[in-house]
Amino acid sequence: MNRTCRTALAAAVVSLAAAGLLQAQSKPSEDLAARAKRIHAEAIVLDTHIDTTQRLLQPDWSFFDRHEPNVRGQRGPGGRGNHVDYPRMREGGLDGLFFSIYMAGSITGPPAVKRSLEQIDAVRRLAETRPDAMVLATTAAEVRAAHKAGKIAALMGMEGGHMIDESLPVLRDYARLGVRYLTLTHSLNTTWGDSSGDKPAHNGLTDFGKDVVRELNRLGVMVDVSHVADKTFEDALATSRAPLLASHSSCRALTGHVRNMTDEMIKALAARGGVIQINYLNSYIDEPLRLAEEARQPQVDAIRKDMAAKYPGAENADKRMMETIAAVAALQPPLPVAQWQRIVDHIDHAVKIAGADHVGLGSDFDGASMPEGMEDVTRLPKITEELLRRGYTESQIKGILGENVLRLMERVEAVAREIHNEARPGR
């Protein structure tokens, strides 16, 4: 081979290499989308807080029909959103969900127990009516088995200690019926625990509140610290033998809402094996939006007052609600719009301070306003793709999508077995 040939060959090699490099540079975007799709499909994707339960009680609404999400700023009958149903869960690759058993904290006593039982019944019947598509799951193993069988795992979490009506026997009955977490408070204090949305009354948990935590440990039901006051969180952490769940909370360091957790709380939760499940609610994840909402709160309160006077009584409740929403939506200036990527910012922040094994997803779908780009559950794969784009490994992503909370469930179940074995006579 002469010199000219060698030079020509070298040039050809260089250009081939350059072409290869170019190809490698243009490929990652395709590769990333394909990888994200595969990871999302393989993973057990589990969301620990979805409020679709209220719709299950409506006779004219079917979970197995496909619905369209409600338009921003409007609220259809039965609540906000319309974010979740069976066909869209399949499309979004969501494999399991905790249906929230929920009512406002102002509903207490026997009526709260009755309503809880009706909601539990609705979830259980949903699984019973379509055993080909869904299965009621009460353990991590049952969630894994459902995934293997290609079925949606339906779980239940109870959002507020007021629903136990100060009764450990009632709590035990809920556990027997399949409830697998209890959020200690909703937005109002209970008679035994302080909420982040209320004035402190108990300095955290009362002695009975601590008994509730210990009973949850014994029952293998997760102790959920979303919504609680910071001191209630501390008391729950100090009392609970099992690691804690924050079923739907985001990071206060990024968005200063009291519903979010401080870095210190997230670190303490994680150090004991707990998991924070990031909430997608738009004003919990976007600071400019939160500040704008806070600034206009007096105007919103005034509208509510006017509407209450204009449309008094329970019979006008729907009209009152629709007009209130329309009047709030017409306020100027309009609120800033949160983007869906803020969800991943919160995941990222929690991972940085607590580690990738202690973070997951607790959307608040159907109970909250979503950021732009996360209009319903079909948008979920975007989170997987964004995590991959930000350099997360496959196993970290699968952890965030569901494995982390499954591991937490396994640990909580193991603690319950330990307590059971210790209590056995003759040991």
- 121 an active-site residue? no
Decide: 107 and 93 in contact? Cβ < 8 Å: no
In degrees, rounded to 5, the angle at the alpha carbon of residue 53 between the alpha carbons of residues 48 and 54 is 135
- 51 an active-site residue? yes
Distance in angstroms (rounded) separating the CA atoms of residues 250 and 252: 7
Decide: 80 and 139 in contact? Cβ < 8 Å: no
- 162 an active-site residue? no
Catalytic site residue from 186, 202, 257, 349: 186
Catalytic site residue from 85, 95, 159, 357: 159
Q: Which of 218, 189, 216 is nearest to 204 (CA)?
A: 189
Decide: 296 and 264 in contact? Cβ < 8 Å: no
Catalytic site residue from 40, 67, 202, 248: 248
Q: From the CB of residue 154, how many other CB atoms can be counted at a distance below 10 Å? A: 23
Catalytic site residue from 47, 235, 286, 364: 364
Catalytic site residue from 51, 95, 230, 413: 51
Q: Which of 141, 144, 163, 145 is nearest to 53 (CA)?
A: 163
Distance in angstroms (rounded) separating the CA atoms of residues 123 and 50: 12
- 85 an active-site residue? no
Q: Which of 70, 54, 65, 119 is nearest to 87 (CA)?
A: 65
The shares of helix, strand and coil residues in the chain, as percent rounded to the nearest 5, are 55, 10, 35
Catalytic site residue from 40, 49, 346, 349: 49
Encoded tokens for 168: 């450990």
- 49 an active-site residue? yes
Which residues form the catalytic set? 49, 51, 159, 186, 227, 248, 364
